[in-house]
Structure 1
């Protein structure tokens, strides 16, 4: 039904959708956890904050599992290079995520202030470290990772964990944390009342300008200070995958020229900055839903900016540009992509509809009265 080139593009879109779903939903989960020790001053206030995401955090986190599984099935060389070369960084993300299920499930088991305070800080770590580390990962995707492929297409990582912590990558990590915290503050504002609502508004007034400035700084750095590789010789986009059947130069036309070549791509960074700006301006007032929707627009614009900028690259090699992995030469076989496509067409809409149903059922403001009324069933 679809030729090899078309199905490759379709899967690039599918995986982009999953990545955006993870950023949108787990993004505000992370943000709420980051804000937990600071906006919640008493135990009951912290329980209110936790229960704004208590019914959905597990489902939101599975988008990350789905993303990893999709990359494994569709882009095996990408999965192999990332998860072997960045083994330490991936383990740190995983260990940080361990704090979340334990924190949510065990916090209220004992009515002891020391016990609960310890789990509050565990939730803080579980919501703060992953966006920083994932932001650093995005920064290194743009800079390129030090890896090469041998003649048997085996991937060899030539760097170290600390080499990932360049100034640009750290800026991306800080921007990732600001993004999730800002997104979480808007979600918390939407689902809370009284003092928690007021504190969330105060936080938004500070975080908004910081996020906009950080995001703009990342964009300016990319356009003016980082070289973009360029493919000079490429095998057919419908040919079997072999990353070595191309020629790549390390210093190409540049990221700015890449966007100028496809002017419609500018919509993504414009939507990102515009969405967060409107979310900040509306978030300082009485707006709840509209402000959060603009933040979602900002998240989508940010994710699309990264995807458009890298296209058709999936992983850039900083040490051996010819080993870079692209959409056209790092995918599974045509039959595998087609089989996975039909499975996804059937089940992904079901997942999305079920997610929408869950949010519709549990929606509403969480207050101290709500938590006290269902004290034994809520976190």
Structure 2
């Protein structure tokens, strides 16, 4: 109870805002390389054995990587129920397409090698490409729409009305953000294959990774310029009460040009996020160019983390702005669960999160090393 009293409501809200960012980064970095490897599968692997090398490089770990997605969704549901309600209802079709791809992925992994027919296996290879490309693209498109504001409104009783459409999400800026997401995950996947594969597979992945790293730098920079020059941000114009009730309609907010860059001027340390995104992608480019496996993978992870965190740094304290009624926009200070709920969740997280991290680290340690073509060729029981 003493700790519960020391952790004020505003502190817990900030902690959970940061934890959601950590979970999103963890998912993008860990599941990102196997999504990227899936997108590279039809191109980096020319023969069946080469493609099996790619599949088996991610086969033992991809399921564990998706734990971060489950944790993120559960945390949003419990800590930010209004955010969960608006996003999962407004983006329902987009979420359905992503889930379809994620459900098809294990099917493709399991069924691909059930038959020796090359055409059968080639079809499943393209399914795995689809299952990597679609979640990457649509996730980026969703972020692009969040930065522009989502067309929802709240009634006086907090009833949610979403006035948008699925194809309305596919606007030019959002598609650009989707391409940034695709490029950075292909870059990350190529770094993983350079580390885990060898020979022709690693070399082809490296070449595609160089293109993807360069595209990440250029597209991310273009998105930043567009965000500054062509996308209006949101600002709160009323007094902010960090300890106030979770009712977005109690504040006033406006749409204002350049609002998404105020935090960078006010808190200079936040520039570390976009700088990390650009420097990480550049470091991955250098690592891939000189065939530095660890450097390429770690720098691509840094680039992904910086790009993801730059969205939160730009928008704070907004977490889901409304393009119809800015007053209904959800912020860190008015869209969370209760003080007690956030505290109990934090206590549970402090217990289980280190266990998950320790177990995941142990798994990667056990599975360290390159995937050998001969071992796969002679293995008929366990390899994909």
Which TM bucket (shorter chain)? Answer: over 0.9
Q: Deviations over 1:136-195 (max 9, x none)?
A: 000011001000000001111011111111100000011111111111011001111111
Q: Is the partner of 1:363 in helix, strand or coil?
A: coil
The aligned residue for residue 353 of structure 2 is: 348
The aligned residue for residue 71 of structure 1 is: 76
CA distance in 1 between counterparts of 2:296 and 2:190 reads: 11
Q: Is the partner of 1:332 in helix, strand or coil?
A: coil
Residue 244 of structure 1 pairs with residue 242 of structure 2: no
The aligned residue for residue 194 of structure 1 is: 199
The aligned residue for residue 85 of structure 2 is: 80
The aligned residue for residue 157 of structure 2 is: 152
Residue 177 of structure 1 pairs with residue 186 of structure 2: no
Q: Deviations over 1:11-53 (max 9, x none)?
A: 1111111111000011111100000011111111100010110
The aligned residue for residue 326 of structure 1 is: 331
Residue 268 of structure 1 pairs with residue 273 of structure 2: yes
The aligned residue for residue 292 of structure 1 is: 297
The answer to whether the 8 A contact 2:229-2:258 is kept is no
Cα shift at 1:374 = 2.5
Residue 220 of structure 1 pairs with residue 225 of structure 2: yes
Under a length normalisation based on structure 2, what TM-score does the superposition of the two structures give?
0.97
What CA RMSD, in Å, does the superposition of the two structures yield over aligned residues?
1.1
Residue 117 of structure 1 pairs with residue 157 of structure 2: no
Q: Deviations over 1:296-353 (max 9, x none)?
A: 1111111110110111111000110000000110000111111111010000110011
Cα shift at 1:370 = 2.2
**Which 4+ stretches in 1 moved above 6 angstroms?**
none
The aligned residue for residue 170 of structure 2 is: 165
The aligned residue for residue 57 of structure 2 is: 52
The aligned residue for residue 41 of structure 1 is: 46
- What is the aligned counterpart of 1:128 among 125, 133, 136? 133
CA distance in 2 between counterparts of 1:81 and 1:165 reads: 18
Cα shift at 1:257 = 3.1
The aligned residue for residue 61 of structure 1 is: 66
Cα shift at 1:372 = 2.0
The aligned residue for residue 211 of structure 1 is: 216
The answer to whether the 8 A contact 1:205-1:284 is kept is yes
Q: Judging changes above 3 Å, is the alpha-carbon distance between structure 1 residues 67 and 343 closer, same or farther for their aligned structure 2 residues?
A: same
Under a length normalisation based on structure 1, what TM-score does the superposition of the two structures give?
0.98
CA distance in 1 between counterparts of 2:380 and 2:291 reads: 29
The answer to whether the 8 A contact 1:145-1:317 is kept is yes
The aligned residue for residue 18 of structure 2 is: 13
The aligned residue for residue 105 of structure 2 is: 100
The aligned residue for residue 261 of structure 2 is: 256
Structure 1 portions without partners, runs of 5+: none
The answer to whether the 8 A contact 2:195-2:294 is kept is yes
Q: Deviations over 1:56-78 (max 9, x none)?
A: 00011121111111100000000
Cα shift at 1:253 = 5.0
The answer to whether the 8 A contact 1:235-1:245 is kept is no
CA distance in 1 between counterparts of 2:239 and 2:360 reads: 41
- What is the aligned counterpart of 1:371 among 376, 379, 384? 376
Q: Is the partner of 1:233 in helix, strand or coil?
A: coil
CA distance in 2 between counterparts of 1:235 and 1:256 reads: 19
Q: Is the partner of 1:228 in helix, strand or coil?
A: strand
- What is the aligned counterpart of 1:304 among 306, 309, 313? 309
The aligned residue for residue 35 of structure 2 is: 30
CA distance in 1 between counterparts of 2:257 and 2:243 reads: 24
CA distance in 2 between counterparts of 1:370 and 1:18 reads: 35
The aligned residue for residue 238 of structure 2 is: 233
Structure 2 portions without partners, runs of 5+: none
CA distance in 1 between counterparts of 2:204 and 2:43 reads: 9
Figure out how many residues of one structure are paired with residues of the other and give that number.
379
Structure 1 window deviating more from structure 2 (164-173 vs 283-292): it is 283-292
